[in-house]
Chains A and B, each alone.
Chain A
């Protein structure tokens, strides 16, 4: 598993979900299962920008594109633009 994926999963488990016993992997549904709400989705989107070093225009993203960690990274690859330094 790439380091960035691990970083993202760790963030979701420890900062967002924070429920004992809940396990998250690359394909765990997060939005559709109700595990995360709209506000948490914003946190995750911003974290994804940091992890991938891109700017992800939210106007190009739908919650279903962020449903699993795997989908998040493919979304970032699809619509993310390199950040201006």
Chain B
């Protein structure tokens, strides 16, 4: 594993150095496409063929749609993409339910091309944008690069072609700022993923969120700790990964959409979804919710559209009951928030100020964390049992985890909220809150910490149990 990552790191560095020397946009595109395919083939092996097939199919479909922008042709393209996605991602899971019946047994062995949910949604947004008369006319080379773009092909952020195309065509020289910003984001991402790893595995074997969710005797306090701990594990893991993806792209001069923006400072479920996994959340808003919600004028239809959109959000992750429940739960939260907003308007009630704003934050935070039980639980029985424990006062017996695990979660929360509050107050980017430190000292510290983290991650931690990036499974 470490050897593969080392090869990839060297490959990225070489591609970076080469791209800096190449001024022709077309030549840079060729270089990036070859390195992106090599990178993807290194991780996903022969599935690179699926990616190429999907690219060719969508490019052809997009060209057809540009000439004849009909709804039928659009939905045909959407259907083909969903069949491809469903065939690889959902058929094995669904077949597992009927695995005892021989025709379905073979289907359970279908492997999933890593990142298929991400690049299929990128392809779909291209078809929708062409249908919407967006002025995008990529060459096959540019579209292939958009689909296979190395920094995003495995787990996003989900990009849009209108944002990427001008960057692919730009012939601007790389600047020192790109390198500095890119390395800072990568460093921050690795650090955050290490925090996620610590939360997941705990400081000692058999502890941490991962082991906690396997435990059979959980009291109310344990469940809340696990839900909050997992919420932060998922955040640090995925936001950390997104920082790395954005940072690597920046090394080549590309700017990717942000994926997270202080999500746990949200004071409403609606606000949370503008701050968490933003590239997917905005995708669902733009291509599912808005067209659906404006199809009819009744309020009940708008609420139903919210619910449907959030169930699709859940299903995007996996076609299992827990993800359907998780999506529906968030749909209900959004509808309740909408009803609350309308009630406030009707009675002229102001819910801001020193008391109501912290209360709104607390309620939102606990509601979001409660939802993570369904996101993480291995099955719906376990999720419901944990929910009952969290909501039943009689289950609040003394916590069963070791004290140091509570300290890990507590320290993570304290660190997160301290940095988030600083960022929110200064309105600054991650690194700017440390702007008062002289740049030479900052760079030296960043470099030293990066080397220590890389050493820990790729060498020291390889001797303990492996840690997989959570969103690779989606």
User: A residues bordering B, Cβ < 8 Å?
Assistant: 18, 34, 37-39, 41-42, 45-46, 56, 58-63, 79
A-binding segment of B22-30, B101-109, B288-296, B413-421? B288-296
**B132-A42 in contact (CB<8A):** no
B331 to chain A, nearest CB (A): 12
Range of interface residues on chain B?
A: 20 to 34
- Chain B residues near A63: list those with CB within 8 A: 282, 285-286, 290
Q: Known interface pairs A37-B274, A63-B286. Does A42 touch B294 (Cβ–Cβ under 8 Å)? A: yes
Instruction: List, sorted by A's number, 16 A–B pairs whose CB atoms are closer than 8 Å.
Output: A34-B271, A34-B274, A38-B285, A38-B290, A39-B270, A39-B293, A39-B334, A39-B338, A42-B294, A56-B294, A59-B71, A59-B128, A59-B132, A62-B132, A62-B286, A79-B133
Compute how far the CA of A22 lies from the CA of B270 in the bound complex, rounded to whole angstroms. Answer: 20
Compute how far the CA of A24 lies from the CA of B305 in the bound complex, rounded to whole angstroms. Answer: 28
Compute how far the CA of A37 lies from the CA of B297 in the bound complex, rounded to whole angstroms. Answer: 18
Chain A: interface secondary structure? helix
Q: Which of A37, A38, A46 has the most CB of B within 10 A?
A: A38
Chain B: interface secondary structure? helix
Residue of B nearest to A66 (CB): B290
Compute how far the CA of A56 lies from the CA of B71 in the bound complex, rounded to whole angstroms. Answer: 15
Compute how far the CA of A56 lies from the CA of B289 in the bound complex, rounded to whole angstroms. Answer: 15
Q: Known interface pairs A37-B274, A42-B302, A46-B297. Does A18 touch B345 (Cβ–Cβ under 8 Å)? A: yes
Residue of A nearest to B71 (CB): A59
Q: Apart from A42-B302, A59-B128, what are 19 other A-B pairs with CB-CB below 8 Å?
A: A38-B270, A39-B293, A39-B302, A39-B334, A41-B290, A42-B293, A46-B297, A58-B290, A58-B293, A58-B294, A58-B295, A59-B291, A60-B131, A60-B132, A61-B132, A61-B290, A63-B282, A63-B285, A79-B133
- Chain A residues near B338: list those with CB within 8 A: 39
Query: Does B306 lie at the interface of the complex (its beta carbon under 8 Å from any beta carbon of A)?
Result: yes
Compute how far the CA of A78 lies from the CA of B271 in the bound complex, rounded to whole angstroms. Answer: 30
**A39-B306 in contact (CB<8A):** yes
- Chain A residues near B290: list those with CB within 8 A: 38, 41-42, 45, 58, 61, 63
A60 to chain B, nearest CB (A): 5
Residue of B nearest to A58 (CB): B294
